[in-house]
Structure 1
Amino acid sequence: MARYIFITGGVVSSLGKGLASAALGALLQARGFTVRLRKLDPYLNVDPGTMSPFEHGEVFVTDDGAETDLDLGHYERFTGVAARRTDSVSSGRIYSNVLEKERRGEYLGKTIQVIPHVTNEIKDFLAIGEDEVDFMLCEIGGTVGDIEGLPFFEAIRQFTHERPRGQCILMHLTLLPYLAASGELKTKPTQHSVKELQSIGLAPDVLVCRSEHPIPEKERAKIALFCNVRPDAVIPAYDLKTIYEAPLAYHRAGLDRAVLDAFRISPAPRPDLSKWEDVMDRLDNAEGRVNIAVVGKYTQLEDAYKSIAEALTHGGMANRVRVRADWVDSEKLEGEGAHLLDGYHGIIVPGGFGERGTEGMIAAAKYAREKDVPYLGICLGMQMAVIEAARNLADMPDAGS
């Protein structure tokens, strides 16, 4: 039966819970354990498939066809474990399942409530595939204190209480803000975040503290004292030059050791981090450089094309070259704007929806064909290349979609 690690966040959103989860999964793998990572999102959309990329970044599609949160892409890239539709769920999906069961009469006329019916549905989701791996890492979207996240936190409390002692731990990410005027890192937001968790019956076993400045030892001791965690379980997390440094950085900070100590796994297998050392060597000691233009409709938000950006990084690693990706708004290429693509070694046109910006994508495809620049069209980008060829090579000037 799997051991469970629940990953939550506090103080502010976008702290990097997904990256921390993925890095921890990679570190546990490096010690010889098997892992699976899951994401529980509190929003009421059934899945992110119909959400604008400006709202939630890209939609990551799993091998079995589920449209999921982009964090599942991080999980795959760091662990190599292919995500499944059972690795992502939202409040919308949970409520939809509960209401479908109620319509079918499965609750035998009972009054349907958040507790126990919604929380039971969440717990059933958590238990899927629990016999397949050594560790199940479950990330809760949003921050503690968000009203929409309360059913998930309550389900975790129940789930942990119902399991044998020592089978579940909680890892909480917070922010230590720096006040330049006083030259201080402030621990009070972290204390309040942990207090919020404790008020709903949860207590963190490991605290990961994001900071732009070094965390003095006395501040770590203070956090440990007031948040009721062991001092060596207060893990500093600093900004990195690349996300692929995260496994090594978290290992140096003692994250995997703190997690295994919380499970009382001692002595633990020694980690083999040679793969991640090789990754950093390839990034730090690149032997060349290529410039790629990514021509898209949602370039204002880089997360809209997260998998493409990371695929370029991976391609660069494999070939020991540094890849610079520039995000080019396709609308700017319409008319006489194709000259903006001068100097690039390759052009990528990714997917999108709707008519806006498509003429610029067609212009990019024409530029690539005429200038003999490598072109990769993905989904809509491929369709625009077909339209460009139809218009300019097959004498179909009115070709469109």
Structure 2
Amino acid sequence: MSKETKYIFVTGGVLSSLGKGIAAASIATLLKNVGYKVSMLKADPYINVDPGTMSPLEHGEVFVTDDGAETDLDLGHYERFLDEDLSQDNNFTTGKVYSSVIERERRGDYLGKTIQVIPHIVGDIVDRIKKAGEGNDILIVEIGGTVGDIEGLPFLEAIRALRSEVGKSNGMFIHLTLVPYIKVAGELKTKPTQHSVGELRRIGISPDMIICRTEMPLNRELKDKIAASCGIERNAVIESPDMQSIYQVPLSFLNQNILEPIAQNLNLKNPKPNMQNWDNLVKRVIAPSTEVNLAFVGKYIDLKESYKSLTESIIHAGANLDTKVNIQWCDSEKIDSNNVAETLKDCDAILVAGGFGPRGVSGKIEAIKFARENKIPYLGICLGMQLSMIEFAKNVLKLEDANSIEFDENCKNPIIYLIDSFIDANGNKQLRTHTSPLGGTMRLGGYECDLLKGSLLAKIYNNANKIKERHRHRYEANPKYRAEFEKAGLIVSGESDGLIEAVEIKDHPFFLGVQFHPEFTSRLTKPNPAILGFIKAGIEYKNAR
């Protein structure tokens, strides 16, 4: 394999949300299973420095890497498909590029020169792409947005310049576009694709491959028309139809011999990936032998992209247990003591997800109480763990005004309090935190967690003594109440540098709250143990009833 990194640049046309990230991750998966060392990069043209301060309603989930970067949700897809840990070097934005260039200009690094989009902004983008490619045989670069967007021009100029620098045998352009089906005419239309390719050509990029998002299969005649009108080889027109599962996409691409034109462009030798294990898991995703009902209690249920990593981790666990997990979406704002039993009566497991702010909290607490009292398998993630402690404090310990200072700064019993308070009180400066301009201190990225021997948490992690999981939160469980909790049956089963990382109830079949986000490390071929153990407990509960 070549020591020189080869680049595959993936752009999108016509409109957004066509699935560039899935297409790019699918190609990466195939190449990795050939034996190449593959990595991925997402370049986002928006001016935000990162998605950390963006609303989930605006941009979907914020994915967190092991080194603590808040990134685009596509990085989650990359990690789940590749089964590789990525870093802050694998995602950057216009905001990050301009911030860096302006900072260097203020320091005088440019020796008084006029700073311009070309060469300085474009040069910074090229440098970031090269850095992400170091040590890899192939780097797949996804350019966010749609060709024709004004904010994307510097990124397209950067990949055009980099391809010229490395040469055609080391750089390839793949353009993903829409081939819409016009129902009244009964026809698939190629004109949007032709216009999109025309936009690319105007800035000096001619695609080597076109991936067509379509609701209907493309016949040979239509594919040949696209090839001829867009100036590419006939075997380089690949269709990407709607599918039951995103994990079918690599197999669909493989069946269309997508690696043949890629190998021809990049001078790769006869790539034949081994996708047998992947194929077996996908079959279990599509046609599992059993099913289980999961109540997913959250406040962003109208925008499920907000929980993308979590819903995907549930699919991973289900596939590995040969089980379809039917997610029952429960709006926590609509749950109260009067309807909680009716809302959750058919569920085999209850999940309370993470989140920020007081909206929907009372409904989540009612769901937690229902799970605890009725011995239904429960998993609380981040805020879900914190609320399980608050619920226990209120209803078991009978602590008056038990709450989180996130919701009531003056509560008498602050079960949950700010990270800052913990650092100041204990002098612990080892936490990797990030203070945002909004004034909040976040605990971000991967941290080691010591497990209590013999605990449920230790058992589901194969009796490990120590694990490492990722975090994204700014409030911590208050250790002041630990002795009271444990005396009443809520034990601390995971901790990190004195911080409470996990709690569980001893006389419950499966009641687990974790401060970390297990979904961020789950992959189709390697489901996270906490999610897997939870779904397994749901299956056992269903069988017992």
Match for residue 101 of structure 2?
98
**What's the TM-score, normalizing by structure 1?**
0.97
> Is the 2:63–2:71 Cα contact (8 Å) retained in structure 1?
yes
TM-superposed deviation, 1:165: 3.6
Distance 1:284 1:242 in 2: 7
Q: Provide the residue aligned with 1:346 in structure 2.
A: 349
Higher normalized strand content (fraction of residues) = 2
Distance in 1 (CA, whole Å) between partners of 2:43 and 2:328 is 32
1 CA distance for matches of 2:140 and 2:119?
Answer: 23
Structure 2 counterparts to residues 302-381 of structure 1, below 5 A? 302-339=304-341, 340-381=343-384
The Cα of 1:327 is off from its aligned counterpart by: 1.8
Is 2:254 aligned against 1:251? yes
Q: Secondary structure at the match of 1:128?
A: helix
Determine helix, strand or coil for the equivalent of 2:224.
helix
Could you tell me which amino acid in structure 2 is paired with residue 363 of structure 1?
A: E
Deviations 1:128-165 (Å, cap 9, x if unpaired)? 14341111001011100011111100111111111234
**Matched residue of 1:257: which SS?**
helix
What is the aligned partner in structure 2 of residue 57 from structure 1? 60
The residue matched to 2:262 in structure 1 has which SS? helix
Return the letter of the residue paired with 2:94: S
Amino acid at match of 1:106: D
Listed one character per residue, the Cα deviations across residues 326-351 of structure 1 (whole Å, up to 9, x for unaligned) are 22111011342312111111111111
Q: Is the 8 A contact 1:334 1:359 kept in 2?
A: yes
- Where 1:400 maps in the other structure, the secondary structure is strand
Decide which structure has the larger Cα Rg and report it: 2
TM-score (norm 2): 0.72
Alignment-derived partner of residue 89 in structure 1: 92
**Which one is further off, 160-169 or 314-323?**
160-169
Match of 1:280 among 279, 282, 288: 282
Query: CA shift at 1:74, angstroms?
Result: 0.7
For residue 398 of structure 1, the aligned residue among 394, 397, 401 is 401
Deviation at 1:299, TM superposition (A): 0.8
1:24 aligns with 2:40: no
Corresponding position: 1:217 with 2:250: no
1:234 to 224, 233, 237: 237
User: Quick one: which amino acid aligns to residue 181 of structure 1?
Assistant: V
Q: 2:391 corresponds to which residue?
A: 388
Q: What is aligned with 2:421?
A: none
The Cα of 1:216 is off from its aligned counterpart by: 1.7
> Does 2:37 match 1:34?
yes
CA contact (8 A) 2:263 2:271 kept: no
- Separation in structure 2 between the aligned mates of residue 143 and residue 255 of structure 1, nearest angstrom: 23
User: Which amino acid in the other structure matches residue 386 of structure 1?
Assistant: M
Q: CA deviation at 1:286?
A: 2.0
Residue among 137, 141, 162 paired with 1:138: 141
Counterparts of 2:157 and 2:36 in 1: how far apart (Å)?
A: 28
Q: Which residue of 1 aligns with 2:503?
A: none
Counterpart position of 1:198: 201
Distance 1:357 1:20 in 2: 36
Query: Which residue of 1 is the match for residue 411 of structure 2?
Result: none
Q: Is the 8 A contact 2:132 2:139 kept in 1?
A: no
Q: Deviations over 1:296-350 (max 9, x none)?
A: 1111111100011011011111111111112211101134231211111111111
- Following the alignment from structure 2 to structure 1, what is the Cα–Cα distance between the partners of residues 271 and 178? 31
Q: Deviations over 1:193-212 (max 9, x none)?
A: 00000001111001000111
8 Å CA contact retained: 1:247, 1:276:
no
Letter in 2 for 1:326: Q
C-alpha separation in 1, matches of 2:333 and 2:280: 40
TM superposition shift of 1:285:
4.3
CA distance in 1, matches of 2:213, 2:248: 15
Matched with 1:119 is 122
Could you say what secondary structure the match of 1:116 adopts?
helix
Contact 1:206 1:234 in 2 (8 A): yes
Q: Of the two structures, which has the highest relative contact order with CA contacts closer than 8 Å and spacing of 6 or more?
A: 1
Which residue number corresponds to residue 82 of structure 2? Answer: 79
CA distance in 1, matches of 2:365, 2:62: 24
1:148 and 1:327 map into 2 onto residues whose CA distance is 36
CA distance in 1, matches of 2:152, 2:165: 20
Taking the aligned partners of 1:256 and 1:279, their CA distance within structure 2 comes to: 22
Structure 1 stretches of 4+ moved >3 Å: none
- Partner of residue 443, structure 2: none
Paired residue secondary structure (1:65): coil
Asked whether 1:46 is paired with 2:52, we answer: no
Look up the equivalent residue of 1:330 and give its one-letter code.
S
Q: Give 1:287 shift.
A: 2.5
Distance (Å, rounded) in 2 between the aligned partners of 1:31 and 1:73: 22
In the alignment, the residues of structure 2 paired with residue 61 and residue 91 of structure 1 have an alpha-carbon distance, to the nearest angstrom, of: 19
Q: 1:393 corresponds to which letter in structure 2?
A: V
Give the letter for the 2:293 counterpart: N
Q: Provide the alpha-carbon RMSD of the alignment.
A: 1.2
CA distance in structure 2 between the partners assigned to 1:269 and 1:15 by the alignment = 27
Equivalent-residue separation in structure 2 for 1:337 and 1:101 (angstroms): 58
- Alignment match, 1:261: 264
Say which is worse superposed, 273-282 or 84-93, in terms of deviation: 273-282
Q: Say if 2:194 is the partner of 1:157.
A: no
Of the three residues 295, 307, 310, the one matched with 1:293 is 295
Supply the distance in 1 between the matched residues of 2:315 and 2:402 (Cα, whole angstroms). 35
